[in-house]
Amino acid sequence: MASREFALIDTYFKGKGHQRKDVVLGIGDDCALLAVSDSTLLAVTTDTLVAGVHFPLDTPARAVGHKAVAVNLSDLAAMGAEAAWVSLALTLPDADDAWLAEFASAVVEVCDYYGVTLVGGDTTRGPLSVTITAQGKIPAGKQLTRSGAKPGDWLYVTGTLGDAALGLALVQGREQASSDHHEFLVGRLNYPTPRLLAGQALRGVASSAIDISDGLASDLGHILSASHCGANLFLDKLPLSQALLGTMALESAWQLALGGGDDYELLFTVPEAQKGALDTALAHCGVKHSCVGQLRGGEGISYLNHGQTVELDVRGYEHCWS
Ligand code: ADP
Ligand code: MG
């Protein structure tokens, strides 16, 4: 989301009106957290995918269905939540049965895979747009937020970065890759993997977390401003796939890893004393993780390559396919 949209939310919506005492966390994190009992928090998030803005118009229906659910489950993962329920608000230009069959089977498949139930929604006519609201549960006090990081904490990411941004460049014809790499990279764009098990494993281990939807630099910026810290980011430690490195020069790959969107990997911080616990926790869920930096006092991100400072102008991610 662009900074002007964050300003809009702050101006018109954040903290306005009656504030209930059971809202543990309102606007400003990956999910809202609501105290539904003494022992359980309900995590709630909503994300919309608009055709031609958040996905190219010729995206397969199966990919639209998968991605709409997966990006919402990714926000639950970022809080350490167990995913439970989704609702689906669907705006369609016309009722195309073939499209709907593909779309619906992908929604059902991803819900089944993560043990989530579709419990409601809304169906309207208009330009294609898919809104999912996802809800999950967290034991009270075990939530991960953007605001708990401290100077000295280590910075980690799951998976690899930049693949989806290159996948988008491929489907738009701005880049070319070998057919193996093409399939992998476009798959990373269209079928993101929400890191739900990793998120839950990070409870009590990570000091802060966010999911990477708008690029590492932008989403790290949210942790830094919520936690009042700065960060040193180690470019030589960025996890880059063989497909990304096999298709572009290293500096371009860094740009996509830092500024590209749609990774849906987790970015989190871990205090020095929890580093061993982290390796154990994530080994159990089979998710690769990489240490890509360390928090410090001050503000902003400093980029280092093998210990040397690098001046880098990270180009942010724009949702624009028109
Ligand atoms: P994410 O990328 O994790 O989905 P966003 O960047 O979309 O988060 O949103 C940032 C925060 O602003 C979230 O807490 C979200 O719930 C909130 N938000 C976004 N749009 C609105 C709105 N129109 N009214 C109230 N809150 C909003
Ligand atoms: Mg998020």
User: What CA–CA distances, in Å, run from 56 to 49, 152, 169, 173, 319?
Assistant: 11, 41, 11, 12, 10
Distance CA 208, CA 268 (A): 5
Between CA 178 and CA 240 the distance in angstroms is 17
| 7 touches ligand 1 (CB under 6 Å) | no
What residues have CB less than 8 Å from 86, skipping those under 6 apart? Answer: 69, 72, 111, 116, 117, 118, 119, 132, 133, 134, 135
Determine the straight-line distance between the first and last CA of the chain, rounded to whole angstroms.
Answer: 17
Which residue owns the Cα nearest ligand 1 atom 17?
27
* Helices marked H in the chain: 3-12, 61-79, 97-114, 163-171, 179-190, 196-201, 216-227, 242-245, 250-259, 275-283
Backbone φ, ψ for residue 148 (5° rounding): -95, 0
Distance 95 CA to ligand 2 centre (A): 31
Q: Which residues of the chain register pLDDT less than 70?
A: 316-322
Instruction: State which of 90, 116, 139 marks the end of a domain.
Output: 139
Residue 317, pLDDT score: 56
pLDDT score, position 320: 42
Kindly write down the DSSP assignment for every residue of 242-265, as one continuous string.
HHHHTTS-HHHHHHHHHH------
What's the pLDDT at 321? 41
Note whether 116 and 158 are same-domain residues: no
Distance 96 CA to ligand 2 centre (A): 31
Give the closest residue to 117 by CA, choosing from 153, 150, 73.
73
Residues comprising the binding site for ATP? 121-122, 146, 213
Let me know if residue 319 belongs to a domain: no
29 CA: nearest ligand 1 atom: 14
Which residues are known binding-site members? 30, 45-47, 54, 75, 121-122, 146, 211, 213-214, 262, 317
Q: Are residues 157 and 52 in the same domain?
A: no
Domain match, 134 and 174 both: no
Residue 202 maps to a domain: yes
Same structural domain for residues 70 and 186? Answer: no
Question: What is the number of structural domains in the chain?
Answer: 2
Pocket flag, ligand 1, residue 108 (CB < 6 Å): no
pLDDT in tens, 210-255: 999 999 999 999 999 999 999 999 999 999 999 999 999 999 999 9
Specify the residue with its C-alpha closest to ligand 1, atom 1: 30
pTM as predicted: 0.96
Tokens standing for residue 130: 């898919």
Of 270, 136, 164, residue with least CA distance to 208: 270
Residue listed under structure tokens 């809080």: 79
Cβ of 30 less than 6 Å from ligand 1? yes
75 Cβ closer than 6 Å to some ligand 1 atom: yes
Average pLDDT of the chain is 95
Give yes or no for a contact between 244 and 166, defined as CB atoms under 8 angstroms apart.
yes
Q: Count how many Cα atoms sit within 13 Å of the Cα of residue 137 in the half-sphere of its side chain.
A: 10
Pocket test for ligand 1, best of 27, 133, 143 (most atoms within 8 A of CB): 27
CA of 171 to the centre of ligand 2 (A): 24
Handedness of CA 260, 264, 270, 275 (dihedral sign): negative
| Domain with 181 in it | 153-309
Lateral strand order in the sheet of 300-305: 208-211, 266-270, 154-158, 289-296, 230-234, 300-305, 308-310
Instruction: Please report, for the domain that includes residue 288, its CATH number.
Output: 3.90.650.10
Q: Do 134 and 184 share a domain, yes or no? A: no
Shortest-distance atom of ligand 1 to CA 78: 3
Same domain for 212 and 128? no
- Residue in 141, 134, 126 with CA at minimum distance from that of residue 38: 141
* Residue having the nearest C-alpha atom to atom 13 of ligand 1: 28
Same domain for 130 and 167, yes or no, is no
Q: Specify the DSSP element, H or E, that contains 90.
A: strand 82-92
**Ligand 2 centre and the CA of 192: distance in Å?**
13
CA 281 – ligand 2 centroid, Å: 22
